[in-house]
Structure 1
Amino acid sequence: MEAVKRWWAGWGYPTTLLCIYGFLSTVKPLEPFFITYLTGPDKNLTTQQVTNQILPVWTYSYLLVLVPVFLLTDWLRYKPVVMLQCVSLLVTTAMLLSLQGVAAMQAMQAFYGVVTASEVAYFSYIYSVVEVDKYRKATSYCRSVQLLGYTVGSVIGQLLVSFNLMSYHYILVFTLVLTTIALLTSCFLPMPQKSMFFHRKPPPVVQEVPGKCTDGTQNNPNISLEESEGGTCDSAGRGREGEVKAAEGCGQVLLQLGRDFLQCYTSRQLLYWSLWWALATCGYNQTVNYVQLLWEHVQPYQNFTIYNGGVEAVSNLFGATTAYGIGFMQVNWAQWGELTLGGFSWLGAASLFLMTFTGNIWACYTGYVIFKCVYMLLITIAMFQIAADLSMERYALIFGVNNFGALVLQTIITSVVVDTGGLGLAIIPQFIIYSSYFTVIAILFSLRGVFTIWKVRQNHEKPTTAKKNLCSPDYLESEF
C-alpha cells in the first residue's frame, strides 16, 4: 500500500492523467470514414474538392505553426499547449459537425494543423514531471494508450457504420463528448516547474578541480549530452557555466540549439538515419492522408460496405506488434541498419504499387496493412538508433528537426502534385508518384547499406553504437 502511495504521489498521478487524456483524445470513430463523410450527403463535396483544395490545407497549416508551437511548448511548460491541442480538436470537430462548404472545411483543416503540431507537448510533458529512470515506462504507457485509442476508435466506427447503429452526425457528437472529457482531464495535470530548454534547473554548485569538468552535471537530465559526457571543459579545465544560463532568453536558447544541431548532424550515421526518417515520414504521411480517396476510387462506398475502420484497427495492431518485436531482436543495427532500411523500403514500395494498380479492394487493404507495418518497423529502429546515446534535449531537437524536414518535403509534394495551384493530379497518378518515391528511397539506402557492409569488412571490424555518443568527437573521428 505504501508503494502505491509513493507511486501515486510521484510519477503515477501525472502519467495516469496523461494516459487518460491521450486515450480520450485519440478515440475518433469517424476518422476512417472521413472522406466518405465529406463526399457523402452530409457535406456533399466532390472528390476533386477534397483532394486538391481541402486536404492540402492541413499540410500548409502544420508547417506554418510547427516551429512556433515547438518553442512555445517549452516556454509555457507543456501543460497549456496540451490544453491548446484539445481546444483545437474541439473546434475542429465542431466545425466538421456544423459547417458546410469548401472554405469552412479548409478552415477546419487549418485548426487540425494546430492539433498535430501540438502533439509535441503530449510527449514532452511527461519528461518534465517524472524522474529519468521512469522515462521509458512513462513513454511506453503514453504511446500505448494512444495506439489503443486509435484502435478502439476505428473498431467503434466500423461497428457503428457496418450495423447502421449511428449516423456520421451523431458519431461526431460522440467524439465531441469524449474530447470535452479529455479537456477536463488536462486541466488537472500538475504544472511542470522545469522544461528542457527555457526553464532548466541549474546543476548544484561544486568546487572546481583544475583540469577536470565539474561533476555537478553528472546524472542531471537537464544538461545536454556533451556536458554530461565530459565535453563541458574548455582548454583551461573550467566548466562552461555560461551554458547553464542559455535558458534565460530566447535568443540564447536558439543559439544553443543551433550549436547542438551542428554538432549532432556532423555524425554521418545520425545524418543517414535522420535522412531516412524525414524522407519516409513524408511519404508515409502523404499515403495515410490520401489513402481513403484511393479506396473510394477502387470501390465506391455506394456499391460496397466499407471496412476502413477495421483495416485501420488491424494495421495499428500489426504495426504495434511489429514495432514491439524489434526490442527483442539482437541485431547490429550500426552495420545492418541501412541495408534493412533499403530492403524493407522495397517492400513498402511494392505494397504501394499493389494498392495503386489493383482493382480489388481487399488487395488494396492488404497492401496498406503491409505498408503501415513496414513503416512502423523501420521508424522504431531509426528512433532507437538516434535516441540511444542522446540526451533528452538533443533527442527532442533531432525529433523536431527530422519531422520539420519531412513536413517541408511533404509541403513541396503537396503544392506540386496535389494542390490545384500545381498539377492537381487525380488519386491514381498521385499514388504512382508515392510508389516511385519509396522506390527511390529503397535504391538509395540499399546502395548505402551495401557500401557500409563492404567498408566494415574491408576494415575487418564491426561498427558499434552502444558505447559511443553519436555527437562526440571520438565517434566522428571513427566515422567513415
Structure 2
Amino acid sequence: MGCWKNTKSNTWTFPTLILCLYGFFYMMKPSEPFLTPYLTGPDKNLTIDEVTNQVFPVWTYSYLALLVPVFLITDYLRYKPILLLQGISFIVTWLLLLFAHGLVAMQLVEFFYGMVTATEVAYYAYIYSVVSADHYQRVTSYCRSITLVAATLAAVLGQLLVSLADVSYFHLNAITLASVSLAFVCSFLLPMPQKSMFFHRKGVSETLPQPDKAGAGLSSNTSSSCQQDKDCAPADTGPTPAQQAQQPEPQHHVLRVLVQLGKDLKDCYSSRKLLYWSLWWALATAGFNQVVNYIQVLWDFRAPSHSSAVYNGAVEAVATFLSSVTSFTVAYVKMNWDLFGELALGIFSTMDAVSLFLMHFTTNIWLCYASYLIFKASYMLLITIATFQIAVNLSMERYALMFGLNNFTALVIQTILTVVAVDSKGLGLDIVTQFLIYGSYFSVIAGIFLIRSICMLVSRKCNRKTVRFWKEPQNLNEHKSKEQTATGCETRL
C-alpha cells in the first residue's frame, strides 16, 4: 500500500503539464523583439547611446552578480520558491517598462530582468526533482520544445500586430505583462519537490555519483523501486529519532555539500575532452549573448524605427525556427565527434565570424537580417552538439554543475566585453564598431579550434604512419627469420 502511494505521488504528467504551461506563458513575450524601438521611441524617449552604453549593460552586471547565489539557493529551497521569484521579477519588469520613465527607471528594468534570467535555472532543474530518471529525456524535450514554440509564436504575433493592426509598442508590452502574470499563476500550481540534486538528496549520507556511476546516481533519485522497505514507506512518514540523531547538523551538511561540489567540478574538468568543449561553450555563449543583447540596436541604426518599417519580430521568428531545425538535425548526424567535433566547432565559428563582419560592413538592413539568421542558427547547432557531448559523459548532478559553471564563465567573459567595449565608463564604442569587435572575437575562437583540430588530425595521421612503419620491419624480419630457418633445415637434410 505504501509503495502504491509513493508511486502515485511521484507521477510526472501533472507537474510536466503545469511546467509546460509556465514555460509557454513566460516565453510568450510579443514585445521583446521591439524593445529598442520602444525605448528610443516617444514612449520612453531615450537616445540610442543611452540605451546602448548605460541601460543594456546593467542586465549583464546584475545577471553576473545574482547567478551564483541564485544557483545555490535554488537547489537549497527546492526550486518552486525561485520560480515564484522569477514570476514576480517578470511582473515588476513589465510594470516598470509600462509605467516608469527616465534613465534610472530603465536601468532598474534591466536589473529585474537580470533577476529573471538568473532564476531561469530553476525552470529546467525543477522537473528533475519531481519525476523519475526514466522520464528525463521526454520531459526535457517537452519543456524545451514548448519554450521554442512560444518564442516563435510571440515573435510572429508581435510582428503581425505591429505591421497589420498598427498596435503600439506600449500595448505589446501590456500583452506581455498579461502573459507573464499567467505564468506566475501557473507557478503556484506546481507541487513542492521533496528532494533536490544537491542539498536535499534522498540519502543524506550519499555523495554525488562518479562519472562511471552515472546510472546509479540517477536511479538513486527514483522512488519507484519497492525492493527496500524505506523506499516503500508512505510519503508522510518522517525519520525516526535514531535516524534524526545520525543526520548531520544543517551547517555541516551544507559545508560538506559545497566541498563535494568543488571536488566534482575538479573531476569534471580533469577530462581534456570535456575541458575543450566547455571552453568553446563559455567563449561562444559570451559572444552570442552579447550579439543578441545588442542586435536590435544595430537594426535600429541601419533602419531607424521612426522612419522605417520594423521587421524585428519576423526575423526573430525565422531565427528561432531555423535554430530549432538545426538543433533537431543533430540527432540524425552520424559523425565521429571525438575526431571531427572540434573541426566542426572551428568551421561553424568561422561562419559566425563572417556573418558578424558582414553585419559590420553592410548598410543594407536585409543583409543584416540574413547574417543574423546564419549567426543564430550556427550557434544553436553547435551548442546542441556541445551540450550532448558534455551530458553524455556525466550524471545529471555533474551536468548541472558543469552547465552552471560554463554559463558563469561565459557571463564573466561577457561582462569583460561589456565593460571594455560597451559601457560608457569604458571605451563606449558605437554599435557598428562593437560588431567589428564581436566578429574579431569569434575569429579568435574559430582560429583556436581550427588550429587544434588540424593538429589533432595531423598527429593522428602521423601516428598511423609510425605504427605502420614499425609493423612492416617487424614483419620483414619475421619473414627473413623464417627463410633462414627453412635454409638451415634444408642444409641439415
Q: Normalization by structure 1: what TM-score?
A: 0.86
1:75 — aligned with what? 76
- Counterparts of 1:45-64 in structure 2, within 5 Å, are 45-64=46-65
Contact 2:28/2:151 (<8 A) preserved: yes
Contact 1:338/1:448 (<8 A) preserved: yes
1:85 — aligned with what? 86
- CA 246–356 in structure 1, closer or farther in 2 if over 3 Å, else same: farther
Task: Name which of structure 1's ranges 145-154 and 362-371 shifts more when overlaid on structure 2.
Answer: 145-154
- Residue of structure 1 aligned with 2:417, choices 392, 399, 413: 413
SS of aligned partner of 1:303: coil
After superposition, what is the alpha-carbon deviation per residue over 1:136-184, rounded to whole angstroms, capped at 9, x for unaligned? 1100110111111111110111011112442222211111111111111
Query: For 1:267 and 1:245, how far apart are their aligned partners in 2?
Result: 32
Query: For 1:261 and 1:246, how far apart are their aligned partners in 2?
Result: 24
Measure how far apart 1:359 and its partner are: 1.0
Contact 1:203/1:217 (<8 A) preserved: no
1:221 — aligned with what? 218
Contact 2:214/2:395 (<8 A) preserved: no
2:293 — aligned with what? 289
- Residue of structure 1 aligned with 2:405, choices 401, 416, 419: 401
After superposition, what is the alpha-carbon deviation per residue over 1:318-360, rounded to whole angstroms, capped at 9, x for unaligned? 0110011001111111110001000111111001111111111
SS of aligned partner of 2:406: helix
Measure how far apart 1:204 and its partner are: 11
1:330 — aligned with what? 334
- Counterparts of 1:366-381 in structure 2, within 5 Å, are 366-381=370-385
Query: For 2:320 and 2:176, how far apart are their aligned partners in 1?
Result: 20
2:40 — aligned with what? 39
1:240 — aligned with what? none
Q: Normalization by structure 2: what TM-score?
A: 0.84
Query: For 1:322 and 1:93, how far apart are their aligned partners in 2?
Result: 32
- CA 158–83 in structure 1, closer or farther in 2 if over 3 Å, else same: same
Amino acid across the alignment from 2:413: L
Query: Quick check: 1:156 aligned with 2:165?
Result: no
- CA 425–203 in structure 1, closer or farther in 2 if over 3 Å, else same: closer
1:434 — aligned with what? 438
2:491 — aligned with what? none
Query: For 1:453 and 1:45, how far apart are their aligned partners in 2?
Result: 53
1:360 — aligned with what? 364
User: What do you get for the CA RMSD once the two structures are aligned?
Assistant: 2.3
Query: For 1:38 and 1:291, how far apart are their aligned partners in 2?
Result: 14
Measure how far apart 1:458 and its partner are: 3.5
- CA 246–25 in structure 1, closer or farther in 2 if over 3 Å, else same: farther
2:17 — aligned with what? 16
> Which of 1 and 2 has greater Rg?
2
After superposition, what is the alpha-carbon deviation per residue over 1:360-401, rounded to whole angstroms, capped at 9, x for unaligned? 111100000000000000000000000002011100000000
Query: For 1:321 and 1:460, how far apart are their aligned partners in 2?
Result: 38
1:210 — aligned with what? none
Measure how far apart 1:218 and its partner are: 6.5
Contact 2:82/2:119 (<8 A) preserved: yes
- Counterparts of 1:157-236 in structure 2, within 5 Å, are 157-202=158-203, 219-221=216-218
Measure how far apart 1:454 and its partner are: 2.3
Amino acid across the alignment from 1:300: P
- Residue of structure 2 aligned with 1:306, choices 310, 321, 327: 310
Query: For 1:223 and 1:62, how far apart are their aligned partners in 2?
Result: 33
1:141 — aligned with what? 142
- Counterparts of 1:116-131 in structure 2, within 5 Å, are 116-131=117-132
Query: For 1:7 and 1:347, how far apart are their aligned partners in 2?
Result: 50
Amino acid across the alignment from 2:41: G
Contact 1:151/1:317 (<8 A) preserved: yes
Contact 2:41/2:306 (<8 A) preserved: no
- CA 156–331 in structure 1, closer or farther in 2 if over 3 Å, else same: same
After superposition, what is the alpha-carbon deviation per residue over 1:92-133, rounded to whole angstroms, capped at 9, x for unaligned? 010000000110000110000010001100000011111111
- CA 103–124 in structure 1, closer or farther in 2 if over 3 Å, else same: same
Query: For 2:10 and 2:262, how far apart are their aligned partners in 1?
Result: 37
- Residue of structure 2 aligned with 1:451, choices 448, 455, 461: 455
- Paired residues in the alignment total 429
Structure 2: segments with no counterpart, 5+ residues: 1-6, 222-246, 466-493
Measure how far apart 1:299 and its partner are: 1.1
Contact 1:222/1:393 (<8 A) preserved: no
Amino acid across the alignment from 1:408: V
1:25 — aligned with what? 26
Query: Quick check: 1:259 aligned with 2:263?
Result: yes
Amino acid across the alignment from 1:74: D
Query: For 2:205 and 2:199, how far apart are their aligned partners in 1?
Result: 18
Measure how far apart 1:83 and its partner are: 1.1
Contact 1:152/1:313 (<8 A) preserved: yes
- CA 45–291 in structure 1, closer or farther in 2 if over 3 Å, else same: same
Measure how far apart 1:8 and its partner are: 10
Structure 1: segments with no counterpart, 5+ residues: 1-5, 206-212, 225-243, 462-480
- CA 223–9 in structure 1, closer or farther in 2 if over 3 Å, else same: closer
Contact 1:200/1:222 (<8 A) preserved: no
Query: For 2:116 and 2:425, how far apart are their aligned partners in 1?
Result: 25
Contact 2:214/2:394 (<8 A) preserved: no
Query: For 2:151 and 2:162, how far apart are their aligned partners in 1?
Result: 16
Query: For 2:51 and 2:8, how far apart are their aligned partners in 1?
Result: 48
- CA 217–345 in structure 1, closer or farther in 2 if over 3 Å, else same: closer
Query: For 2:63 and 2:214, how far apart are their aligned partners in 1?
Result: 36
Query: For 1:394 and 1:9, how far apart are their aligned partners in 2?
Result: 23
Amino acid across the alignment from 2:345: L
Measure how far apart 1:202 and its partner are: 1.4
- CA 167–96 in structure 1, closer or farther in 2 if over 3 Å, else same: same
